[in-house]
Amino acid sequence: MGYIRIMGGRPLHGELSIKGAKNAVLPILAASLLCDEKVVIRNVPNLLDVDTMTTLLERLGCEVDWDRERGVIEIEKGGRISMEAPYELVSKMRASFNVLAPLTLLNGRALVPLPGGCSIGYRPVDLHIKGLERLGFEMSMIHGIVEASIKEKPKGAHIYLDFPSVGATEHIMTAAVLAKGETIIENAAREPEVEDLANFLNRMGANIEGAGTSTIKIIGVRKLKGGVYFVIPDRIQAGTYMIMTAATRGDVLLKNVMLEHLTAPIAKLKDIGVHVHEVNDREVRITNDSVFSGTSINVLPYPGFPTDLQPQIMALLSIAKGVSVVKENVFKNRFMHVDELRRMGADIRLEGSTAIINGIEELSAAPVIATDLRAGAALLIAGLMTRGETIVKNIEHIFRGYNDIKENLKKIGADVEWHMIRTNIKGVRFSVKNNDLILGG
Ligand code: EPZ
């Protein structure tokens, strides 16, 4: 485990280039198990979670070559693909649960551990299971292991999701591409990453229409070939750096973004008084010379304000004039960062899934603990915008979702010291030698 020491209170300046979206790459990697030929994925960010997924695919029997520098992953199914996903890899990264349907289709049966809960609350997979059952998969669970089996090809079905779950939409869509007949997913998740997965599958020969809307239609095909796919940029990384720049009253240009994916966060930043200069549809510059004013934020499935930016925007709102209200409608308990912000002096009251924030002049530097990936990002922002020395412990969570975070912070002038020790998270190793972070080291 480790920590970072942040000497905050300095405006950040410079420019950063945003890489591929973690939450697009992960389901695409899982779905690549269904492709009969080599798959090449480009614009892949160098992240711990991608490491975990590629390690899983190798353990399952795939040949995986990841050129981290060029951001290119090549995957080819070797000989036999295992039907069992190892606990230590699946239990710590929920996205790997989506190998269940592909492994079942390859072997007729598969066993995947139930993904563990995490600090953003209880995360069931009932919608995944119900959807796969509608396609003809037989599902059972014993001792925390989900077993799926299927005697013949899945049959197309009309599936309604009680909640527009991103993972369940992606899992069902992946399972349906080789089914007999037509599958309709109603109340599907509309996230750009769902659409990117559909575009990937169609590039490999699938027949999917409507991804990105609430109704997705999949006509089953006989097989999926291989090919090359370039992943969309990471809207959550882009949004995080936008909030970070605003919070430090800096001036940063972000390149290789897709502004159409950031409509809600941009609208809210403008409400707060942040200057958002949309240079073109791929570049955005953030500056700030005004006082922030509080606002209300309703966290919703896409295209609403994204839950993965909720902790970060709360850090900014803690110093916005007046009262802000943040309602979290996606996860039941995504407020673990609130106690840590309170340690820095934030005035936040929780009423169920609503946070009421009384903006104060400035937070005060203090030692805090990161409980998960996005809480870590929020505390990093809180430390950068606060004068004095803030220590963020368990900062390694941040490497799950922010590639080159060390280099990027340096590039925009953040005064941060990394104090890490060799650690093993989710079966993945990284370490710091002479203050250099080495993944897989
Ligand atoms: C994806 O998680 C993302 N992860 C999450 O990003 C993101 O926060 C989330 O979607 C919502 O946008 C990846 O894509 C790898 P959900 P996922 O299924 O698919 C409930 C990050 O920081 N639910 O849309 O797990 C669930 O409990 C991560 O990058 C069920 O009840 O999210 C939650 O309350 C964090 N039953 C809500 O739906 C189910 O079967 C949304 O979950 C599935 C979900």
- In tens, the pLDDT along 157-166 reads 999 999 999 9
* Active-site residue (options: 62, 101, 118, 363): 118
Phi first, then psi, for residue 22 (nearest 5°) are: -50, -45
| Ligand 1 atom with least separation from CA of 26 | 15
Q: Boundaries of CATH 3.65.10.10 in the chain?
A: 2-19+233-439, 22-230
pLDDT digits (tens, 9 = 90+) for 326-372: 999 999 989 999 999 999 999 999 999 999 999 999 999 999 999 99
Smallest CA separation from ligand 1 atom 19, residue:
167
Q: Which amino acid is at 69?
A: E
Q: Could you tell me the CATH superfamily of domain 2-19+233-439?
A: Enolpyruvate transferase domain (3.65.10.10)
Return the residue whose CA atom lies nearest to atom 1 of ligand 1: 166
- Whether residue 118 lies in the annotated active site: yes
Map tokens 């699946």 to a residue: 90
Quick check: 432 pLDDT over 70? no
**Which residue owns the Cα nearest ligand 1 atom 30?**
124
Residue 56 tokens read as 């899983």
Query: Which protein residues touch ligand 1 with a CB less than 6 Å away?
Result: 22-23, 26, 94-95, 123-128, 163, 165-168, 189, 193, 307-308, 330-332, 373-374, 401
Q: Band of the pLDDT at 1, cuts 50, 70, 90?
A: confident
- Walk across the sheet containing 109-113 and list its strands: 109-113, 145-149, 138-142
**Angle subtended by helix axes 235-247 and 373-384, to nearest 10:** 20
Query: What is the enclosing helix (H) or strand (E) of 243?
Result: helix 235-247
- pLDDT tens readout for residues 187-230: 999 999 999 999 999 999 999 999 999 999 999 999 999 999 99
Which residue type occupies 385?
Answer: M
Q: Distance, CA 165 to ligand 1 centroid (Å)?
A: 6
Q: Which of 437, 358, 364, 359 minimizes the C-alpha distance to 405?
A: 437
Mutate to test the pocket of ligand 1, among 163, 185, 187, 403 (most ligand atoms within 8 A of CB): 163
Cα Dmax for the chain: 64
- Whole-number Å distance, alpha carbon 171 to ligand 1 midpoint, is 12
Prediction pTM value: 0.95
Q: State both tokens at 62.
A: 């795939």
Cα–Cα dist 149/96, whole Å: 18
**Average pLDDT over the chain, rounded to whole?**
94
Q: Is 3.20.20.140 the CATH classification of the domain at 22-230?
A: no
CB 92 within 8 A of CB 397: no
* Residue 426 predicted with pLDDT over 60: no
